[in-house]
């Protein structure tokens, strides 16, 4: 395990909320090397003491159990204020840390990846076996992603590049693989013959507040769908890998992403909805709508098709939005109706199909919806009613922050939960087809009130997520 971490973007929101707290927990639990050191790089002009004082005020949670670990983290930090567009300044300031193999973590906007990478290369910090970690999104479209990937490969090989999608570090997301490939019952029916549709929902009650500039350039399609939702889709739809090593898993995910049918202008009106939240009420509080001069969506619903043998004809409905009435990330797999219906009650058209609901957050739950007579009156044993088989662990064990797992893997060199260059480019290829289809078709951005489930036209994309009265099922 490498014992040097260079953290770029050290004064950013992500570093404060997740990265430094993750390091604190890992050091507290003695999961990092004894000589572990942190080189923090940011734009603000602090010295070491000033940065430590600033950081202490932001990550001190008042828990006495973490106080010693916090001081341990702060004592290992050396801070450098640098302009990440100046590769020469980066090389001059950081070359002293090339004495040991390191992991450089770029928690920065993607337009800074290239100059930071050149500076690290000049400083000798990307020589084998040192590694580079990058926060997604990688670029803004396929062309920019390819340009970034080419810059990275000019400095180090793919086996030492770690592109983070923090969703892959979440234990419930990893459980998708366990459910699929660890259970004969599911894998036997995991195909178009038995599955009617798949819904992937990422709903957020939070708005764009504080990220207006970034969001105006990306929107929900590039921010959430390209990053997290296509990774969830790939895990659900992939073929069984030969093993769980990094390349075997990522090979199968790439095949799924390449099999996504490009969207055309003719498809856009039928297979997509764009929205932007206006004024409304969320969690009982009035909130203002998102307003920006650029035409950018805060809600998107898409119907994706995977053109391969396993999933031919099965719609994958993807929905994500800001200022939704509830926070939830879940996958709902709806199975096809029974081929021959024997029962009078309920009639065939009123029978509830089997559904597997995997809720990833805020609580981790797994439910299988069945039809049975146990809930029916004893004198009507053949009257079927919906039943729920609860497969949830209770109580749910306390999970580590996803970034804790991913940092450990990067320091050890395990790429299984990181995204490879060809995955990134395959995802962008499909996202670009959606964006181009919208532009050609003139797909409008529809308004929806904050606290609702998006524009009214999005209802067909949410049949298994919300009920008719607008409440979550």
Say if residue 230 is in the same domain as residue 123: no
Which tokens in the block code for residue 185?
Answer: 């019952």
Determine contact, residues 302/317, Cβ cutoff 8 Å.
yes
What's the count of helices (H) and strands (E) in the chain, helices before strands? 15, 17
Q: Mean pLDDT of all residues in the chain?
A: 90
Say if residue 335 is in the same domain as residue 193: yes
Mean pLDDT of the 170-192 span:
89
Please report which helix (H) or strand (E) contains residue 438, including its range: helix 421-441
Q: Which residue has the higher pLDDT, 198 or 342?
A: 198
Residues forming a β-bridge with 237: none
pLDDT for residue 365: 84
Q: If we measure between CA atoms, which residue out of 109, 108, 82 comes closest to residue 93?
A: 82
Asked if pLDDT for residue 201 goes beyond 80, the answer is yes
Q: If we measure between CA atoms, which residue out of 419, 395, 422 comes closest to residue 409?
A: 419
* CA 335 – CA 359 distance, rounded (Å): 17
Asked if pLDDT for residue 235 goes beyond 60, the answer is yes
Question: Would you say residue 162 lies in a domain?
Answer: no
Q: Which residue has the higher pLDDT, 174 or 309?
A: 309
* CA 255 – CA 227 distance, rounded (Å): 17
Determine contact, residues 120/132, Cβ cutoff 8 Å.
yes
Question: Would you say residue 95 lies in a domain?
Answer: yes
Give how far Cα 178 sits from Cα of 141, 174, 183, Å: 32, 7, 8
Asked if pLDDT for residue 152 goes beyond 50, the answer is yes
Say if residue 124 is in the same domain as residue 205: no
pLDDT for residue 211: 79
Output phi, psi for 422, to 5 deg: -70, -25
β-strand 328-335 against 77-81: which pairing, if any?
unpaired
Say if residue 74 is in the same domain as residue 185: no
pLDDT for residue 398: 65
Asked if pLDDT for residue 227 goes beyond 90, the answer is no
Asked if pLDDT for residue 473 goes beyond 50, the answer is no
Say if residue 127 is in the same domain as residue 187: no
Listed residues 111, 135, 159: the one ending a domain:
135
Percent of the chain residues past pLDDT 90, beyond the cut: 71
Question: Would you say residue 149 lies in a domain?
Answer: no
Question: Would you say residue 19 lies in a domain?
Answer: yes
Say if residue 352 is in the same domain as residue 233: yes
Determine contact, residues 363/396, Cβ cutoff 8 Å.
yes
Range with the poorest average pLDDT among 143-157, 201-215, 302-316, 369-383: 369-383
Say if residue 87 is in the same domain as residue 188: no
Mean pLDDT of the 172-185 span:
88
Torsion of CA 157, 159, 160, 164, to 10 degrees: 120
> Which sequence positions are flagged as catalytic?
228
Say if residue 103 is in the same domain as residue 231: no
pLDDT for residue 457: 95
* CA 462 – CA 200 distance, rounded (Å): 10
pLDDT for residue 394: 56
pLDDT for residue 383: 78
Determine contact, residues 107/7, Cβ cutoff 8 Å.
yes
Range with the poorest average pLDDT among 200-204, 212-216, 281-285: 212-216
* CA 73 – CA 24 distance, rounded (Å): 6
Determine contact, residues 276/298, Cβ cutoff 8 Å.
yes
CATH code, domain with 239: 3.30.360.10
Asked if pLDDT for residue 397 goes beyond 60, the answer is no
**Domain range for 118:** 4-135
Say if residue 71 is in the same domain as residue 177: no
pLDDT for residue 97: 97
- Top-confidence range, 9-18, 335-344, 431-440: 431-440
Mean pLDDT of the 336-349 span:
82
Determine contact, residues 455/273, Cβ cutoff 8 Å.
yes
Output phi, psi for 254, to 5 deg: -60, -40
β-strand 37-42 against 4-8: which pairing, if any?
parallel
Listed residues 91, 111, 135: the one ending a domain:
135
Q: Which residue has the tokens 């109580």?
A: 395
Question: Would you say residue 374 lies in a domain?
Answer: yes
* CA 393 – CA 390 distance, rounded (Å): 9
Q: If we measure between CA atoms, which residue out of 100, 97, 160, 101 comes closest to residue 134?
A: 160
Asked if pLDDT for residue 399 goes beyond 80, the answer is no
Handedness of CA 427, 447, 202, 323 (dihedral sign): positive
What is the pLDDT confidence band of residue 467, given thresholds at 50, 70 and 90? very low
What is the pLDDT confidence band of residue 423, given thresholds at 50, 70 and 90? very high
pLDDT for residue 447: 95
Which tokens in the block code for residue 148?
Answer: 């970034």
Q: Which residue has the tokens 């532009």?
A: 439
Q: Which residue has the higher pLDDT, 372 or 322?
A: 322
CATH code, domain with 111: 3.40.50.720
Residues in the chain: 473
Question: Would you say residue 382 lies in a domain?
Answer: yes
* Number of separate domains in the chain: 2
Say if residue 130 is in the same domain as residue 192: no
Determine contact, residues 148/116, Cβ cutoff 8 Å.
no
Determine contact, residues 225/318, Cβ cutoff 8 Å.
yes
Mean pLDDT of the 180-185 span:
90
Say if residue 90 is in the same domain as residue 201: no
Asked if pLDDT for residue 469 goes beyond 50, the answer is no
Q: If we measure between CA atoms, which residue out of 344, 324, 329, 217 comes closest to residue 280?
A: 324
Question: Would you say residue 291 lies in a domain?
Answer: yes
Mean pLDDT of the 143-171 span:
92
Listed residues 115, 135, 155: the one ending a domain:
135
Question: Would you say residue 468 lies in a domain?
Answer: no
Residues forming a β-bridge with 386: 371
Mean pLDDT of the 307-329 span:
96
Mean pLDDT of the 124-132 span:
96
Q: How far does Cα 372 stand from its chain's mean position? A: 36
Say if residue 385 is in the same domain as residue 327: yes
pTM of the full predicted structure? 0.91
Asked if pLDDT for residue 77 goes beyond 50, the answer is yes
Asked if pLDDT for residue 336 goes beyond 50, the answer is yes
* CA 197 – CA 183 distance, rounded (Å): 20
């Amino acid at each position: 395990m490498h014992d040097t971490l260079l953290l770029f973007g050290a004064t950013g929101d992500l570093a404060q909320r997740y990265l430094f707290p993750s390091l604190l927990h890992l050091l507290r639990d003695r999961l990092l090397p004894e000589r572990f050191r942190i080189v923090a790089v940011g734009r603000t002009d602090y010295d070491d003491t000033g940065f430590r004082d600033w950081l202490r005020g932001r990550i001190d949670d008042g828990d006495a159990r973490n106080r010693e670990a916090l001081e341990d983290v702060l004592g290992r930090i050396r801070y450098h204020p640098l302009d990440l567009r100046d590769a020469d300044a980066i090389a001059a300031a950081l070359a002293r840390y090339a004495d040991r193999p390191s992991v450089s973590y770029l928690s920065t906007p993607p337009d800074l990846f290239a100059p930071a990478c050149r500076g690290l290369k000049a400083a000798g910090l990307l020589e084998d076996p040192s590694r580079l970690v990058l926060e997604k999104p990688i670029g803004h479209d396929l062309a920019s992603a390819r340009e970034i990937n080419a810059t990275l490969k000019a400095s180090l090989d793919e086996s030492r590049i770690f592109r983070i999608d923090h969703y892959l570090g979440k234990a419930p997301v990893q459980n998708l693989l366990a459910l699929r490939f660890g259970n004969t019952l599911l894998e036997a029916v995991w195909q178009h013959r038995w599955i009617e549709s798949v819904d992937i929902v990422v709903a957020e009650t939070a708005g764009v507040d504080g990220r207006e500039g970034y969001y105006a350039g990306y929107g929900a399609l590039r921010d959430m769908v390209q990053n997290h939702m296509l990774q969830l889709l790939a895990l659900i739809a992939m073929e069984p890998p030969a093993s769980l090593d990094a390349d075997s898993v990522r090979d199968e995910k790439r095949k799924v992403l390449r099999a996504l049918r490009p969207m055309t202008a003719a498809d856009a009106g039928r297979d997509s909805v764009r929205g932007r939240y206006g004024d409304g009420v969320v969690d009982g509080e009035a909130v203002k709508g998102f307003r920006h001069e650029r035409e950018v969506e805060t809600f998107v619903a898409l119907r994706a098709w995977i053109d391969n043998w396993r999933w031919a004809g099965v719609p994958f409905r993807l929905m994500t939005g800001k200022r939704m009435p509830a926070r939830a990330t879940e996958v709902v797999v709806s199975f096809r109706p029974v081929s021959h219906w024997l029962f009078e009650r309920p009639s065939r058209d009123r029978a509830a199909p089997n559904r597997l609901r995997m809720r990833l957050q805020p609580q981790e739950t797994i439910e299988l919806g069945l039809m049975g007579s146990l809930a029916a009156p004893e004198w009507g044993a053949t009257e079927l009613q919906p039943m729920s088989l609860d497969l949830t662990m209770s109580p749910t064990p306390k999970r580590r922050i996803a970034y804790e797992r991913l940092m450990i893997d990067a320091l050890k060199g395990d790429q299984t939960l990181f995204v490879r260059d060809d995955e990134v480019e395959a995802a962008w290829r499909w996202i670009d087809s959606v964006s181009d289809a919208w532009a050609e078709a003139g797909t409008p951005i529809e308004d929806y009130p904050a606290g609702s489930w998006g524009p009214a036209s999005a209802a067909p994309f949410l049949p298994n997520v919300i009920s008719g009265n607008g409440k979550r099922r």
